Homo-oligomer: A and B are copies of this chain.
């Protein structure tokens, strides 16, 4: 039986970068690939950022590959219709609680960082962001009219023991395969939910991961430390909202956002299979959409994460990663990572180069 993959290119540069991934998938073979709409594209076609049919498909396949969602065109839509709701529903309904966001500096691109090169050369952080809880999904929420004519906006940050422990476990397990260090990040000095987070992560570490060095850091300090000395981190585990900001900050430190993939994983079933969605860290970049300018590497490397985590096809994942390295070393660059002396290419030509290198 072949592996089933649902491709959701989404908005902006999503379709262009995903087109290159499709070529690679066809090249690799053995996949039953379906394609569907999400985000603004789904709203334009169906009046909703994710149809129930697409949601059902996502639940049925072995893995989902997503491009990007959102854009100014849909910025004024009511809250429930925004492109982002499509992505958030996928995360929630598939119960993808662990979002793995590597912040990795490719040797060939160390100069591309806005940070001084020494501080980032060889950087390799793994941020594990909780993805189905916290203020993103907590109730009560909404905007209400007050008797005095004002309005009040409410969201609820909420975490249970269970939610904290399962994502912390993912971080500890990953750390064991890396440098065995986990830094857990919250605002335990200000928020009770953060204090609970700290206590539960510490208890899990004490009980089951004595071989992993666990530290705790306030989120504001973490934002600082990422800029001051990013190489101090191995694995960072944090909640949905802090993870959103800190992983983007860390990604930007690498200087090559167009290179960074991510994986969102659910719980393992009896057979060890996890529901999973893979997507580039970058957004839909509407300003360059449709111009053959976008860097497809982040999306291509998301495919490689998929091969590794969802299909146990690690050799092919290695092959893709090596091909990307070769292409970079050969000086072939899209606009976002081009530098003097390099060969500037477009999205499709970058896809050609990766395919050729494989």
Contact = CB atoms under 8 A, between A and B. Distances in A.
Contacts of A319: none
Interface stretch (A8-16, A183-191, A325-333, A348-356): A183-191
Q: Please state the number of chain copies in the assembly.
A: 2
A209 interface: no
A71 to B, nearest CB: 11
A36 B194 CA distance: 30
A160 to B, nearest CB: 5
Interface in A176-230: 187, 189-197, 200, 219-221, 223-224, 226-229
A241 B246 CA distance: 13
Interface in A139-165: 141-143, 146, 150-162
A153 B223 contact: no
Contacts of A248: 220-221, 223-224
Contacts of A153: 158-160, 191-197
Given A114-B116, A119-B114, A160-B150, A193 B155 contact: yes
Measured as residues with beta carbon below 8 angstroms from the partner, the interface class of chain A is 35 or more
Given A146-B160, A150-B162, A162-B150, A220 B192 contact: no
Contact of A189 (B82, B156, B161): B82
A174 B219 CA distance: 28
A252 to B, nearest CB: 4
Q: Is the interface of A mostly helix, strand, loop or mixed?
A: helix
Contacts of A193: 143, 153-155
Contact of A115 (B116, B143, B200): B116
A154 to B, nearest CB: 5
A251 B155 CA distance: 28
A136 interface: yes
Given A84-B189, A141-B192, A161-B150, A227 B245 contact: no
Interface of A: 70, 79, 82, 84, 88, 114-116, 119, 135-136, 138, 141-143, 146, 150-162, 187, 189-197, 200, 219-221, 223-224, 226-229, 241-242, 244-249, 251-253, 257, 283
7 contacts: A84-B190, A136-B190, A141-B192, A150-B162, A153-B192, A153-B195, A249-B249
Question: What are the nearest 6 A-B pairs in CB distance?
Answer: A153-B196, A153-B193, A150-B161, A223-B249, A224-B252, A220-B248
